Structure 1
Amino acid sequence: MEIRWFRHQFSEIVHHYRNGEDQYGEQLREYQGRTELVKAGLSQGSLDLRILDLRPSDDGQYLCTARNADSYTEATVELEVA
């Protein structure tokens, strides 16, 4: 399974998870050390991303993609930092 969270473009990786491990090599600098995929819900299909130390610049739209050998799906989430 591969899960990716993006910002505005597919090249702007907020968090990447593949084959049971977090992948940090391509992560945007401003998110380094501040994100984690909530793995407790993965078996039920929950792909929640936790962003720590929220900043006003985190406000906006995020895209999540999930892929495995049999399927691909994506969803968009709007984060409002108040």
Structure 2
Amino acid sequence: MVQTLTWPLSRGDPTVTCVFRQNCILPCNVDPSSETIIHWDHLTSGEHNVHSYYDTEDQLGRQDQQFKGRTSLFKDLISRGNGSLMLTGVKIQDEGRYSCYSSTERGSRKTFIQLKVEVTLIKVSIKLVENRIICSSEWIYPQPELSWSVNPPSELEINSPTMVHQTEEQLY
């Protein structure tokens, strides 16, 4: 599992960078208590319930379909102040802003995290077909930019129509 957590220098949410199809931890500190309530929400396109915990157990009845079977908390660590969320099989659609709301008898707090998804495996293929060179790739995110050049430079005009297709998983 590879992920990066950064805090921007300016005011803003900390960012967690996770790898596509890997597991990812979104950090959240909560007040230690035996009566802790935790609600994780994905805020990017509305407020979608990611994971809820209260009465000392997971409460997944309102969980958004996108997250079903892919979330968990570190239950043995909640009483020590760890309300972090484990998100498995990270998807491009998971990218965005999350909130972690926690409440105990001492009060409540809400923190925010930005999740950024990266793809680490890029496959590029270059083929010569008749008098054309075809370059194709898979597993790219975000959308790539493609430009052609020759070395050494030439006055020859390069005619290079490009096509970009997006998969169901939102990769290019």
Q: Which residue of 2 aligns with 1:6?
A: 41
Distance (whole Å) between structure 1 residues aligned to residue 74 and residue 98 of structure 2: 16
User: Relative contact order (C-alpha < 8 Å, sep 6+): which is higher?
Assistant: 1
Larger Rg: 2
- Answer yes or no: is 1:39 the counterpart of 2:75: yes
1:12-60 C-alpha deviation (Å, 9 max, x unpaired): 1100000210001000011010000122321221111001111000011
- Answer yes or no: is 1:76 the counterpart of 2:108: no
Structure with the larger strand share: 1
Structure 1 outlier segments of 4+, above 4 Å: none
Amino acid at match of 2:83: L
**TM norm structure 1:** 0.90
What 5-or-longer segments of structure 1 have no aligned partner? none
Distance (whole Å) between structure 1 residues aligned to residue 48 and residue 102 of structure 2: 16
Q: What's the C-alpha RMSD, in Å, of the aligned pairs?
A: 1.2
**TM norm structure 2:** 0.45
Q: Which residue of 1 aligns with 2:8?
A: none
Q: Which residue of 2 aligns with 1:62?
A: 98
What displacement does 1:79 show?
0.9
Structure with the larger helix share: 1
Aligned residue pairs total 81
